[in-house]
């Protein structure tokens, strides 16, 4: 059953070929058997998962099920989950039990889905390799010596290794798309405001966005039907109609206009990765698409812009973790200042401290105009580049990552090199548009992802474009050895 995708799992449950309880036990057994190799899960919620599965079976028996009732999933450990530990990959929240559920979690619960557990992640979603987690690094199922990407590396590894059929992730600068690319998955970062951020622990509030990670575009579409939509609890949620994301999956791509940014194919892109991407673009031409070279002239400024905006917002958001109200508290503080200093000093890891310090500096008196304000102006220029491009084309394509998965420890001592792992993904977050990564091949045994970038609220078209490619190829069906 672990080899089946969501539509087949849903059909099997409704046809009573197997029960949700049987399905859930099967995935829990796979987690017990394989997760020691991967470290993909922080928490396995066996008891509550089986209760949810039994409740789903009761709904199925009464004919009250919806599309994904009884289907298991994994939730990234950044989404608050009532009664279940929510750590954000940090010592600061290592024992935090959320008193409420995030909207994404609640909507999955309301649909009758079964949460298998919470997945490991870079601490407070800050990282590109899933090596900054307080609970240790996650390993890539395709090569256990390699990183799975970050920050949603636990979700990526869990789905790639067939420990869960689908998982949630979050994407602030590429943290759904990059691990999806490195683990041979389909991952979607929706338009900013399309999926509620309520109960999603904040890193950079104007950039963070939750979304699905799965083996196919169809699976992603099915979960988007559950989690997308307006939420009055989230002031950044956009009140616009939500389509059925599965409705247009089979539409022809004849006449599709694909823009290829020349800036994405220059220095820094691995030549073998480029060849795989070029081959994928040829497949799109065979499907009837037209390819045109375009320019995103300000995209080269996306990394420096992001690393002013995101740390500034993280500095503000993480100020709440002070050792007073919740989270880690140091032992025997001598006074309030000592409580603040030692609780934050001991509770946060090195990468989180680095970004807090950068952000605090950028927001400080005398530097706000020089750094933060200028970064916001550049952000508008980057967004305008996309708006201008979509006047002539329907979708933008290019590599998701400049390289395949790198080895564990390879970049941990060089933060700037690590930051450049997201050079092709960050602009999408700065502009707020939807972005997606799909599997298109391998370099050796390590996967390569193609990035699709669409206009605002154009997720349905991206899913159609991805699905049609996946009907013509089988890269997304490949499984890592030892986890088939």
pLDDT of residue 376: 95
Q: What's the predicted TM-score (pTM) here?
A: 0.96
Q: Using alpha carbons only, what angle is made at residue 450 by residues 421 and 5, rounded to the nearest 5 degrees?
A: 110
- H/E segment holding residue 361: helix 350-363
Q: How far is CA 220 from CA 45, 151, 165, in A?
A: 23, 19, 11
Q: Which of 10, 76, 155, 237 is an active site residue?
A: 76
Is 77 strand, coil or helix? coil
pLDDT at position 184 = 98
Whether 437 sits among the annotated catalytic residues: the reply is no
Residue 287: partners with Cβ closer than 8 Å, 6 or more residues away: 253, 254, 256, 468, 469, 472
Please state, in angstroms and as integers, the Cα–Cα distance from residue 428 to each residue in 216, 385, 451, 453, 455, following that order: 21, 11, 10, 7, 10
For residues 401 and 128, give the distance between their C-alpha atoms in angstroms, rounded to a whole number.
11
Residue 1 pLDDT: 85
CA 50, CA 119: separation in Å to the nearest integer?
Answer: 18
- Crossing angle of helices 46-61/6-14, nearest 10°? 60
Q: How far apart are CA 268 and CA 132, in angstroms?
A: 24
Q: Which CATH number is correct for 6-254+436-448+455-477, 3.90.1300.10, 3.40.50.720, 3.30.2000.20, 3.40.50.300?
A: 3.90.1300.10
* The pLDDT value given to residue 35: 98
pLDDT at 234: 97
Which position has the token pair 């799975």? 148
What value does the CA radius of gyration of the chain take, rounded to a whole number of Å? 21
The SS3 call for residue 389 is helix
> 448 - beta bridge partners?
441
Predicted confidence at residue 416, as pLDDT, reads 84
Distances (CA, A) of 71 to 8, 9, 199: 10, 7, 22
Given a contact cutoff of 8 angstroms between Cβ atoms, the answer to whether 55 and 112 are in contact is yes
Q: Are 28 and 44 in contact (CB under 8 A)?
A: yes
Angstrom distance (rounded) from CA 47 to CA 28: 10
Active-site position among 175, 216, 299, 421: 175
Map out the domains of the chain as residue ranges. 6-254+436-448+455-477
Q: Do residues 41 and 31 make contact, with C-beta atoms less than 8 angstroms apart?
A: yes
Q: Is 387 a catalytic residue?
A: no
Q: Provide the pLDDT for residue 10.
A: 95
Angle at 403 between CA 209 and CA 134, to 5 degrees: 55
How many CB atoms within 10 Å of residue 346? 14
Out of 90, 128, 151, 401, the active site residue is 151
397/420 Cα distance (integer angstroms): 19
Q: Which residues of the chain have pLDDT under 70?
A: none
Contact 94, 113 (CB under 8 A): no
Please give the pLDDT value at position 154: 98
- Tell me what pLDDT residue 367 has: 87
pLDDT at 484: 87
Which residues, in sequence order, are bridge partners of residue 453?
396, 435
Q: Per-residue DSSP letters for 116-159?
A: EEEE--SGGG--SSS-S-TT----BTTBTTB---SSSHHHHHHH
- How do beta strands 446-453 and 435-443 pair? antiparallel
Query: Is 151 considered catalytic here?
Result: yes
State residue 359's pLDDT score.
95
Which residues are 292's β-sheet partners? 259
pLDDT of residue 406: 96
> Which pLDDT value is given to residue 304?
94
Question: Which residues are paired to 73 by β-bridges?
Answer: 115
Position 366 scores a pLDDT of: 83
Q: In the sheet where 166-170 sits, what is the strand order?
A: 41-44, 114-119, 72-76, 166-170, 210-214, 186-189, 435-443, 446-453, 395-399, 257-261, 290-294
């Amino acid at each position: 059953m672990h080899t089946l995708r969501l539509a087949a799992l849903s059909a099997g449950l409704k046809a009573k070929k197997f029960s949700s309880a049987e399905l859930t036990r099967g995935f829990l057994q796979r987690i017990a058997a394989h997760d020691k190799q991967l470290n993909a899960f922080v928490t396995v919620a066996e008891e509550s998962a089986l209760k949810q599965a039994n409740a789903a079976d009761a709904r199925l028996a009464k004919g009250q099920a919806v599309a994904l009732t009884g289907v298991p999933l994994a939730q990234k450990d950044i989404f608050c989950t009532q009664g279940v530990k929510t750590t954000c990959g940090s010592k600061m929240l290592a024992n935090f039990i959320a008193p409420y559920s995030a909207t994404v979690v609640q909507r999955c619960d309301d649909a009758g889905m079964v949460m298998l557990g919470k997945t490991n992640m870079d601490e407070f979603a800050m990282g590109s390799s899933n090596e900054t987690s307080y609970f240790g690094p996650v390993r890539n199922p395709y090569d256990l010596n390699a990183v799975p990407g970050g920050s949603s590396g636990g979700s990526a590894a869990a789905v790639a290794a067939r420990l869960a059929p689908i998982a949630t992730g979050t994407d602030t600068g590429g943290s759904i798309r990059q691990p999806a690319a490195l683990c041979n998955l389909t991952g979607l970062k929706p338009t900013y405001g399309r999926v509620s951020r309520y109960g999603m622990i904040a890193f950079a509030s104007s950039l963070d966005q939750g979304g699905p990670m799965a083996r196919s575009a169809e699976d992603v579409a099915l979960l988007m039907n559950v989690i997308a939509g307006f939420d009055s609890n989230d002031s950044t949620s956009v009140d616009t109609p939500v389509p059925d994301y599965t409705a247009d999956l089979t539409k022809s791509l004849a006449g599709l206009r694909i823009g290829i940014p020349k800036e994405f194919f220059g220095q820094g892109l691995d030549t073998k990765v480029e060849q795989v991407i070029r081959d994928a673009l040829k497949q799109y031409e065979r499907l009837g698409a037209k390819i045109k070279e375009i320019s995103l002239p300000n995209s080269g400024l996306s990394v420096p812009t992001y690393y002013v905006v995101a740390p500034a917002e993280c500095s503000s958001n993480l100020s709440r973790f002070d050792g007073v109200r919740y989270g880690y508290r140091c032992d025997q503080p001598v006074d309030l200042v000592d409580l603040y200093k030692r609780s934050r000093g001991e509770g946060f890891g090195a990468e989180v401290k680095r970004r807090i310090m950068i952000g605090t500096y950028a927001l400080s008196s005398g530097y706000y105009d020089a750094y933060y304000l200028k970064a916001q102006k550049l952000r508008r220029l980057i967004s305008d580049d996309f708006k201008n491009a979509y006047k002539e084309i329907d979708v933008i394509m290019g590599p998701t990552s400049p390289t395949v998965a790198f080895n564990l420890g390879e970049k941990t001592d060089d933060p700037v090199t690590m930051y450049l792992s997201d050079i092709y993904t960050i602009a999408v977050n700065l502009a707020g548009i939807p972005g997606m990564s799909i599997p298109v091949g391998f370099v050796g045994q390590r996967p390569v992802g193609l990035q699709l970038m669409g206009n605002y609220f154009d997720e349905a078209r991206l899913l159609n474009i991805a699905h049609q490619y996946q009907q013509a190829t089988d890269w997304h069906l490949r499984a890592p050895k030892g986890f088939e």
